[in-house]
Amino acid sequence: MSEDLRARVLAYLEKVDKVKSKDIAAALGEKKSDVDKVVKELAKEGKVEFLYIGTSYVKLVK
Check: CB of residue 13 under 8 Å from CB of residue 52: no
Applying CB under 8 A, which of residues 1, 11, 31, 61 lies at the interface with other proteins? 31
User: In this complex, which beta carbon is closest to other proteins, that of residue 6 or of residue 32?
Assistant: 32
Binding to other proteins by residue 59, rule CB under 8 A? no
Identify the burial level of 39 via C-beta atoms within 10 angstroms of its C-beta, where 0-12 means exposed, 13-18 middle and 19 or more buried: buried
Binding to other proteins by residue 46, rule CB under 8 A? no
SS3 53: strand
Enumerate binding residues for other proteins (CB under 8 A).
Answer: 20-22, 31-33, 36, 40, 50, 52-56
